[in-house]
Structure 1
Amino acid sequence: MKQLVSGIYAPVFWTGFIGWALAQPDWLVLVFATAVVVSFAMEQWLPYEPQWNRSLGDRWRDSVHACVNEGLNVLGLLVLPGLTALLAFDGIWPRGWPLWEQLLLAIVLADAGITLMHYASHRIAPLWRLHAVHHSVQRLYGFNGLMKHPLHQMLEATAGLLPLILLGIPLEVAQLLALAIGIQLLLQHSNVDMRLGRLRWVFAWAPVHRFHHMKYGRAGDVNFGLFFNLWDWLLGTAFYREGYRMGPGDLGIGSRPDFPVAYGAQLRDPFVPVRVGKEPPLPDDLR
């Protein structure tokens, strides 16, 4: 039974919850809340790494990160109609398309902008200092996708949403996009033992994204995509090692094992001097 669920979990979770949202777009809060409950329940029943289900004193902090960043998303949606009216070029967005086609277009365009900002955040020092908060995690589970410095969250959201605003994205489609991003983040950082097969070449779900969180310096500069791996193929940063099992000792920022854990300290960290140590050696199986 577990082997079967492992093979179908990711595509069923993704299409099921996004499909539910498309069918009942007025129920988005319920859809996302249900997705969170299912994600956490599955991590307990079918964990990839059982140790990642145990709190390291980070559960409250991650919950605060999630609430703050989801609050920023809601605020962005509240001001979206005004921004669209002010900035959009009239008539460009294909409002006559079916809703699912408009959402797919929004996902593809937002994915490109967010992925490029993510890539830049590993190349430009001030951006990395903000993004490092996300990479400091010592375990991977569903809420890690929302564990970000709020300034970096806003930069990524701007990179993904600004092109859509200029095109005149309708509020309904933007709300569905926000829901789809939340569903994707739950899958991307999930501690469910999911098997993707050939889908790993297309979707940036957990078995692919775990390699992005490696603590071995530049070795983790791979798999930047939010939704799809297409951009990583184009950037030359796609990576997957069949048979390598990521574990607790593989995660974090190797040069900063003492990265602050408390929420307030993480907000301050990008703006204070830090001492960077030596990177740990890359395991032979990852070379």
Structure 2
Amino acid sequence: MPLLRFVVRVLYAPVFFTVFVWSALTLVERGAPLWGLPVLLGLALAVSFAAERIAPYERAWNRSHGDDGRDLIHALVNEASIFLSVLALPAVAAWGPELGVWPAGWPLWGQLAFAILMADLGITLAHYASHRFAILWRLHAVHHSVKRMYGFNGLLKHPLHQAIELTAGIAPLVLIGLPQDVAWLLAFSVAIQLLLQHSNVDMKIGPLIYIWAVAPAHRHHHLASRTEGDVNFGLFTNLWDHLLGTFRSGIDTPRAGEIGVHGRSDYPRGYLLQLVEPFRRRG
């Protein structure tokens, strides 16, 4: 068991991302039906839960905090909205200008890598703004209200805030001709990355922590502090955080009881209450 735990800690993140994203690329290239990607995502969730139990960063985070049902609803609603958004992409693109600059001649994996880097910039800036402007923070605070970090709650977001981040990340790509098959792969890659970014696996990624925005770096972001948690905003990479001066690394990542919304121990935990909370006036 110690050997298995060591292997998971060292290899889980790169193998998980590579295997599942490459599998999705293969499915799309072969023209697999749309249900293939949700099935693959379900398998990724199962692997995520298993790895968190083999090599947990914080054992307490593997236990339910009365949040299982709520997190499931968040995930289903948000993933369904992304699914519908990609389905609607051709109709949305028809309303905009056709700039015709998409690198269509590149291999599919190259187009996906380009889309990931472009979307990462837009989403990072939207995330950064969400910690600077109160109207955005009220929506984003729903995501920070979690009391534990495990892969599945990477999918926990207020639907309006997800729409804002999605627009910031995808709109520039749509304007330059994002194909629907690349959009499917991008959406899948985002889900896989969120599972890694919020994972409870005690992963060891070495120097990759400076460029890859997975759990060892992102846990700093969830520290319940007005200032110390305003770091590591990137979704896929930490590149933009280095430019913004918001990158942080180190071994002092938060433990159980140290994450959440600063000063809001009373933050609502139910799904419907969390949808309403950003619009509720407080004294």
Q: Please give the TM-score of this superposition, normalised by the length of structure 1.
A: 0.93
SS of aligned partner of 2:278: helix
State yes or no: 1:23 paired with 2:26. Answer: yes
Match in the other structure for 2:137: 128
What whole-Å deviation, never above 9, does each CA across 1:61-109 have from its counterpart, x for those lacking one?
0000000000110110111011122214242111111000000000000
What whole-Å deviation, never above 9, does each CA across 1:138-186 have from its counterpart, x for those lacking one?
1000111111110001111011110010011100000000000000000
Alpha-carbon distance in structure 2 between the residues aligned to 1:244 and 1:74: 37
Alpha-carbon distance in structure 2 between the residues aligned to 1:245 and 1:129: 24
Which one of the candidate residues 3, 6, 29 is aligned to 2:6? 3
Alpha-carbon distance in structure 2 between the residues aligned to 1:13 and 1:23: 15
Q: How does 1:51-70 map to 2 (within 5 A)?
A: 51-70=60-79
Alpha-carbon distance in structure 1 between the residues aligned to 2:166 and 2:233: 15
Q: Which runs of 5+ in 2 are unaligned?
A: none
Match in the other structure for 2:218: 209
Match in the other structure for 2:255: 247
Alpha-carbon distance in structure 1 between the residues aligned to 2:61 and 2:218: 15
Count of residue pairs the alignment pairs up: 274
Is the 1:88–1:168 contact (alpha carbons within 8 Å) kept by the matching residues of 2? no
Alpha-carbon distance in structure 2 between the residues aligned to 1:262 and 1:9: 32
The Cα shift of 1:273 comes to 1.6
What whole-Å deviation, never above 9, does each CA across 1:228-266 have from its counterpart, x for those lacking one?
00000000000012x325211210012111100011110
Match in the other structure for 1:272: 280
What whole-Å deviation, never above 9, does each CA across 1:86-134 have from its counterpart, x for those lacking one?
2142421111110000000000000000000000000000000000000
Match in the other structure for 1:284: none
Computed over aligned residues only, the root mean square deviation of the Cα atoms, in angstroms, reads 1.0
Letter paired with 1:244: D
Is the 2:119–2:173 contact (alpha carbons within 8 Å) kept by the matching residues of 1? yes
Q: Please give the TM-score of this superposition, normalised by the length of structure 2.
A: 0.95
The Cα shift of 1:29 comes to 1.9
Percent same amino acid at aligned positions? 54
The Cα shift of 1:5 comes to 2.2
Match in the other structure for 2:166: 157
